Chain A
């Protein structure tokens, strides 16, 4: 060891420093943890223009000062000298940072400099390559390549691997790992009796082919995807999103290659001719929490969702913590704030408001239609198309047309025709009993409702309504109750006091809480906007006028609609003159009528109204007059005539004022014909069929892309520079041949050159099988993350996975076929101090099972488990009143499932974000708030209470005992005990265990015999009712089984 006395620092011998100090493994973790905060990738925070995270920064002169690190020269290495400085003004890190380096760490840095300070790129940011298999002495031990890497390490440290696990232990381990369920007694017998060399491999094949495999894999993926059955935040209402979970289960069972698994979830909707499944997969990026609270600014949360998609995508697939770069440049990894928003640009084009509606699915959604219904709807749509063509094609002889026109213009006949369709006319002259007359149907007056009195003021004709804060005029639910299939028109006079940014003129639609279902006429940025919505904006039409509405003068606004559900079926007129307009949204395909589950009404539907809409801006100090409602489309000529702008005489005299088509349209709208009626009826049928379908949230890109900006400190409305889609280039360049959308991003992530994706998934599968990954921070492969324990093995497996077309089942099988996996998990006295955490893998995996497996094991081994795959979430036993005591809403009422749904696999348990099932949270399931790729494994007394007292374990134990008594009529006590023990633990008891079990059994039997009433009570736990000839025997065996479930033999993986 060098004596560096002359350099002002002596590397002390007693630290046992490694012979060769490695930058990535020894030095960078110190620099990242202690120095990067001020001298790292974050440009804003960087002090003295010194960056220690780059090659240049470490070795080049800063300003007039010295070089931070000078290879082979400790004395000239300024950074090092500052670290060891005695001067409190000079020492680094500074005292106020509350960070320090210990002597060992300082010695490591010194030795590294002394050895030439060799710099290396971050290990996970360069493409993995397959190294040659390391040499091993004990060649016979290796079953496959994996073992070379593990054993070579062990041999170098003078350690032996452990013996192979017993056959029955191995079968249980493998069965739980692949299916999440225990092996059956028959499977155990068959496996034990089969002496063939390939029996384990064949067993793995059988397990990987079982449908339970997909369920087991989906459990983990639900954590990563932050799956929940509710939206979270204050209102936390239901979302129907289990369709996505079904897709995940199937995808794993079909062994969808991992690259496709990624592509479909990120961008399946953008694939050519995207299938239903490819689109459902994209629900992945809609599973984040969604806010519904009344007072929120929706845009703030829309921005939040986009950020969540970025963080989740980065963490789930690439193992990097992008979210750190949302408010500032990443402090540890080479990801700038700009790059965060460049990636956000991929996810910023969705059709959404930021507020999830209550009672309806949160758009964008995909409609789920079965094939037969889809065919029906397709053929009906064909009929509609034909009929529309026919209706438009109806032409009368020109002579007849002229004759009709002449007649219509005589004696105001045209007006008589229109008046047949005039269904409401309100002139707002005077308020009598808080009502305004309807001049058409006196039984349907308009009601002024208000927290303040409604006032009238001078109008265009007599009086008008003056709109003030919190007043509104209601026309009742019978008036203007149109669906998208109805043709209708309205005209209204307005006097606008000012130019409004966003205010309602009239609406017949639901509150913002309920997706704005219905239709409405608004002013947006001074322009007229008409909307019809099933679920605004993604199932809606919106048409905006191109020109502004005038202010401080009376104007008559008319709109006409033809019942076509198309934006081009809507026409605007100001003072009788057609106004050109822009279709903003044009995708309405479900009913706009009001129909909801009664539990979910937060704000009631009031019907057609003008004026204030609860919580939405009003046309303050403006006036409204002469409101007319027609139940058909009006032609341009009629609107002109009604407004007075078009004179009858001129129309009569001037044959060139309108085209023949325009006159023809006027004629047609005044003549019913069979095609019209048919069209209307067929549209109604189509409307009913399509409206009555389920929907599931998906991703969908809006044609006109939103602009994306860097947001100052991540705040939604503090926009800085505009940015465009791109991916972090330090990881891999986003090249031009990639599509410029989410699909491009997905392809970038699974690109064979991507350094992270394959490593991250291999590591996660390793974690699934061994309890911890080769990198113990599966969510952070960056500078602050842990370093791989076996980097060459990780890289070898990563490359191998890509070479094998991302075959996940193949990867699992390969790992499980290794001798490493098949070792006994017993600890050894020679390992206890040396490798207590089993980092070196000198023994098999051993840890408490994930929560799903604990309950599923009980259900499966007893025969209580419901053999059904997929479907909606279920509600097993839960402490009574738990939801209701935390929330007041009507929907916060837990309705426990019945029958077979009480015994579904645990992954189907309903996940209410605000109050998840306590059994799950007690056993360390992740909170599903954000993407989580690793669960804690803790042991707590509340877990013990769950296993001791949660009813399903007693119920399952009873069912198991009953099964034994029914299946095997003639048996001995010791055989019965063995049956129960083996069913629950996968192995036969040892002699000592057998005698402990028997003692307990006898003592239980005795105690049940003494107390028959408690025996009967004990046998009634849970809903399951079986048959009992011998309650004492059943109770004793039940108690035995239940107690076995409380031993480590049951709830641990061994």
Chain B
């Protein structure tokens, strides 16, 4: 090992060679004068092209909503109710370990009535009367498909592009790509709500930053006293005292800066100021008490229950108004293996009106135009019954081959149903949309080329869509 930059003669030469000359200053992060890591993390300036949406509200329905009981109308299932699903349809598909012991796979027709709504004539079952009212604003993708068949890998996959924990989540990528639009709030906010009887376990690594710097981490807003962990001053410390303490801290830091000339100290001072602003602004933005009753009513009665899905939908609108870039809701109640008819009804009652309320509210305020809303889960459910099919009961297992999501708002076609599944609601027969395609499309709508939003980690350029994904151009407005 004999060669280094030993031959560099002057400071000017050193500088130009190591920093500006080799083009490593793009993001100002790679200033190692020796290492020849020339490429900046993310290629090109973001946005890569004109964005259609400025922010995202992802209404994630954890557990896997049953598409053929909600949006993907399959009358054949009712006609063939109880009959074995044909081998030709099921093929040698991998089934989950929950039903691999089942000897029979009887078709289960939906117990719910379907009708066409709106000018678009979109099919919606009677479980979702409020969603039925807004279908002309929605773009249904009925041909979603994923790789994963179990919850943990499934949710992790749609959130991060990988089935294994450890990659940055979609919101973190967006925060990394778009930066901050609001100086008083985090770029990426997460809201959780629970289902009735059924819950699907989540984990905070779902909104983790993976290998991205941790300021791209999703910040969970919780209902109750501390909306953000340790947001509030402790007992005995009021606003005035806190301000005084912050001034003292800044003074001390400035003294240290004068001795050390350490630029990190300036950054630290800024973080404390931002923390203080968050203390002021977060309680305000999360306070829904000043909302008009008329508005609250749009979100349904649960809106007054803190931490409910309805309350979170209203909060999502408020955060959108404040230009938070990525607002991620999780509702935990959709894993209907058994007793599907009653349990699915309960899940819909919790979520249908709030979702419709949110869309209407955003539209009213002109926010729907530049906000992208996504509704959907990690996979779909089987058209055969899990467990025994009876006259008034059935269940459905996880189904990765097809499921339905819908998008609305910024840059998406309205009143469209894209993609088709077969008559059994089992396989996609036209225009499949893979999870990576959905991710590419979401980034595209934000003005980001998913192939160019990269981050170098352990020798490799990672991206949300791994090495896959194509933008679904047909659904773009």
> Is B460 in contact with A929, judged by CB distance below 8 angstroms?
no
Flag whether B14 is at the interface (Cβ < 8 A).
yes
Q: Which of A846, A888, A945 is B201 in contact with, Cβ under 8 Å?
A: A888
Q: Which of B13, B241, B252 is A996 in contact with, Cβ under 8 Å?
A: B252
Flag whether A135 is at the interface (Cβ < 8 A).
no
Please name 19 further chain A to chain B contacts, defined as beta carbons within 8 Å, in addition to the given A291-B150, A1043-B249, sorted by A numbering: A16-B21, A234-B151, A293-B152, A295-B150, A613-B101, A615-B98, A783-B459, A792-B2, A826-B262, A827-B263, A832-B261, A914-B202, A915-B204, A939-B215, A939-B267, A942-B219, A948-B272, A949-B233, A1014-B235
- Report B-chain residues with C-beta under 8 Å of the C-beta of A784: 456, 458-460
**With A834-B14, A889-B201, A1046-B249 in contact, do A295 and B149 touch (Cβ < 8 Å)?**
yes
- Report B-chain residues with C-beta under 8 Å of the C-beta of A1052: 264
> Is A153 in contact with B4, judged by CB distance below 8 angstroms?
yes
Interface residues of A in 1001-1054 (CB under 8 A from B): 1003-1004, 1007, 1014-1021, 1035, 1039, 1042-1044, 1046-1049, 1052, 1054
Could you tell me the distance in whole angstroms from the C-beta of B296 to the nearest C-beta in chain A?
23
**With A888-B199, A1000-B248 in contact, do A846 and B262 touch (Cβ < 8 Å)?**
yes
> Is B256 in contact with A615, judged by CB distance below 8 angstroms?
no
> Is B165 in contact with A785, judged by CB distance below 8 angstroms?
no
> Is B256 in contact with A1047, judged by CB distance below 8 angstroms?
yes
> Is A1048 in contact with B265, judged by CB distance below 8 angstroms?
yes
> Is B104 in contact with A938, judged by CB distance below 8 angstroms?
no
> Is A324 in contact with B271, judged by CB distance below 8 angstroms?
no
Flag whether B16 is at the interface (Cβ < 8 A).
yes
> Is B222 in contact with A834, judged by CB distance below 8 angstroms?
no
* Stretch of B33-41, B117-125, B298-306, B360-368 with 4 or more beta carbons under 8 angstroms from chain A: B33-41
* Stretch of A21-29, A420-428, A587-595, A677-685 with 4 or more beta carbons under 8 angstroms from chain B: A21-29
* Stretch of B205-213, B344-352, B430-438 with 4 or more beta carbons under 8 angstroms from chain A: B205-213
Q: Which residue of B lies closest to A916 (CB)?
A: B204
Could you tell me the distance in whole angstroms from the C-beta of A284 to the nearest C-beta in chain B?
19
Q: Which of B14, B17, B38, B278 is A945 in contact with, Cβ under 8 Å?
A: B278
Flag whether B91 is at the interface (Cβ < 8 A).
no
- Report B-chain residues with C-beta under 8 Å of the C-beta of A470: 102, 387-388
Q: Which residue of B lies closest to A291 (CB)?
A: B152
Flag whether A787 is at the interface (Cβ < 8 A).
yes
- Report A-chain residues with C-beta under 8 Å of the C-beta of B21: 15-16, 104
Could you tell me the distance in whole angstroms from the C-beta of B120 to the nearest C-beta in chain A?
36
> Is B17 in contact with A469, judged by CB distance below 8 angstroms?
no
Q: Which residue of A lies closest to B35 (CB)?
A: A786
Flag whether A780 is at the interface (Cβ < 8 A).
yes
> Is B98 in contact with A294, judged by CB distance below 8 angstroms?
yes
Q: Which of B22, B271, B388 is A451 in contact with, Cβ under 8 Å?
A: B388
> Is B201 in contact with A887, judged by CB distance below 8 angstroms?
yes
Q: Which 7 A-B pairs have the closest CB atoms?
A: A1018-B236, A784-B459, A914-B203, A295-B96, A888-B199, A944-B275, A791-B1
> Is B213 in contact with A914, judged by CB distance below 8 angstroms?
no
- Report A-chain residues with C-beta under 8 Å of the C-beta of B238: 1014
> Is A927 in contact with B255, judged by CB distance below 8 angstroms?
no
Q: Which of A20, A777, A1042 is B459 in contact with, Cβ under 8 Å?
A: A777
Interface residues of B in 178-215 (CB under 8 A from A): 186, 192, 194, 199-205, 208, 210-211, 213-215
- Report B-chain residues with C-beta under 8 Å of the C-beta of A940: 214-215, 271
- Report B-chain residues with C-beta under 8 Å of the C-beta of A235: 201
Interface string of A209-245 (1 = CB under 8 A from B): 0000000000000000000000011111000000000
Interface residues of B in 217-234 (CB under 8 A from A): 217, 219, 222, 224, 226, 228-234
Flag whether A852 is at the interface (Cβ < 8 A).
no
Interface residues of A in 312-335 (CB under 8 A from B): 315, 321, 324, 331-333
- Report A-chain residues with C-beta under 8 Å of the C-beta of B279: 945
- Report B-chain residues with C-beta under 8 Å of the C-beta of A16: 13, 16-17, 21
Flag whether A886 is at the interface (Cβ < 8 A).
yes
Could you tell me the distance in whole angstroms from the C-beta of B387 to the nearest C-beta in chain A?
7
> Is A929 in contact with B164, judged by CB distance below 8 angstroms?
yes
Interface residues of A in 605-622 (CB under 8 A from B): 612-618, 620
- Report B-chain residues with C-beta under 8 Å of the C-beta of A846: 260, 262, 264
Q: Which of B165, B186, B245 is A1046 in contact with, Cβ under 8 Å?
A: B245
- Report B-chain residues with C-beta under 8 Å of the C-beta of A997: 252
> Is B252 in contact with A1047, judged by CB distance below 8 angstroms?
yes
CA distance A1016 to B238 in the complex (A): 13
CA distance A1000 to B242 in the complex (A): 12
> Is B459 in contact with A332, judged by CB distance below 8 angstroms?
yes
- Report B-chain residues with C-beta under 8 Å of the C-beta of A936: 211, 213-214
Flag whether B78 is at the interface (Cβ < 8 A).
no
> Is A777 in contact with B3, judged by CB distance below 8 angstroms?
no
Interface residues of B in 253-287 (CB under 8 A from A): 253, 255-256, 259-265, 267-268, 271-272, 274-275, 278-279
Could you tell me the distance in whole angstroms from the C-beta of B278 to the nearest C-beta in chain A?
6
Flag whether A737 is at the interface (Cβ < 8 A).
no
> Is A929 in contact with B165, judged by CB distance below 8 angstroms?
yes
- Report A-chain residues with C-beta under 8 Å of the C-beta of B458: 315, 321, 777, 779-780, 784
Flag whether B88 is at the interface (Cβ < 8 A).
no
Could you tell me the distance in whole angstroms from the C-beta of B476 to the nearest C-beta in chain A?
21
Residues of B within 8 A of A (CB-CB), count: 114
CA distance A105 to B217 in the complex (A): 35
> Is A941 in contact with B248, judged by CB distance below 8 angstroms?
no
Q: Which of A789, A888, A954 is B234 in contact with, Cβ under 8 Å?
A: A954
CA distance A18 to B34 in the complex (A): 12
CA distance A1038 to B407 in the complex (A): 53
> Is A914 in contact with B201, judged by CB distance below 8 angstroms?
yes
**Residue among A826, A840, A941, A1048 with max Cβ neighbours from chain B (10 Å):** A941
Flag whether A33 is at the interface (Cβ < 8 A).
yes
Dominant SS among interface residues on chain B: loop
Could you tell me the distance in whole angstroms from the C-beta of A849 to the nearest C-beta in chain B?
12
Flag whether B391 is at the interface (Cβ < 8 A).
no
Q: Which of A30, A295, A892, A943 is B36 in contact with, Cβ under 8 Å?
A: A30
> Is B388 in contact with A885, judged by CB distance below 8 angstroms?
no
**Residue among B39, B224, B451 with max Cβ neighbours from chain A (10 Å):** B39
> Is B4 in contact with A234, judged by CB distance below 8 angstroms?
no
Flag whether B15 is at the interface (Cβ < 8 A).
yes
Flag whether B6 is at the interface (Cβ < 8 A).
yes
Flag whether B8 is at the interface (Cβ < 8 A).
yes
For this complex, 27 residue pairs linking A to B, each with C-beta atoms less than 8 Å apart, are A18-B5, A19-B7, A157-B14, A235-B201, A294-B97, A615-B98, A618-B101, A618-B103, A783-B459, A786-B37, A788-B1, A913-B203, A922-B229, A929-B205, A936-B214, A941-B272, A945-B275, A948-B230, A948-B272, A949-B233, A951-B234, A1007-B244, A1018-B235, A1021-B235, A1043-B249, A1043-B252, A1048-B256
Interface string of A934-977 (1 = CB under 8 A from B): 00101111111110111100100000000000000000000000
Interface residues of B in 411-456 (CB under 8 A from A): 451-452, 456
CA distance A468 to B5 in the complex (A): 77
**With A291-B152, A469-B102, A1014-B236 in contact, do A33 and B1 touch (Cβ < 8 Å)?**
no
CA distance A924 to B212 in the complex (A): 10
**With A18-B8, A825-B260 in contact, do A452 and B388 touch (Cβ < 8 Å)?**
yes
Interface residues of B in 11-28 (CB under 8 A from A): 11, 13-17, 21-23
> Is A792 in contact with B150, judged by CB distance below 8 angstroms?
no
> Is A1017 in contact with B104, judged by CB distance below 8 angstroms?
no
- Report A-chain residues with C-beta under 8 Å of the C-beta of B307: 885
Flag whether B289 is at the interface (Cβ < 8 A).
no
Flag whether A350 is at the interface (Cβ < 8 A).
no
Q: Which of A105, A233, A613 is B38 in contact with, Cβ under 8 Å?
A: A105
**With A776-B35, A887-B201, A914-B203 in contact, do A1018 and B234 touch (Cβ < 8 Å)?**
yes
Flag whether B89 is at the interface (Cβ < 8 A).
no
- Report A-chain residues with C-beta under 8 Å of the C-beta of B102: 469-470
> Is B230 in contact with A950, judged by CB distance below 8 angstroms?
yes
Flag whether A133 is at the interface (Cβ < 8 A).
no
Could you tell me the distance in whole angstroms from the C-beta of A863 to the nearest C-beta in chain B?
21
Q: Which residue of A lies closest to B167 (CB)?
A: A929
Q: Which of B222, B252, B274 is A941 in contact with, Cβ under 8 Å?
A: B274
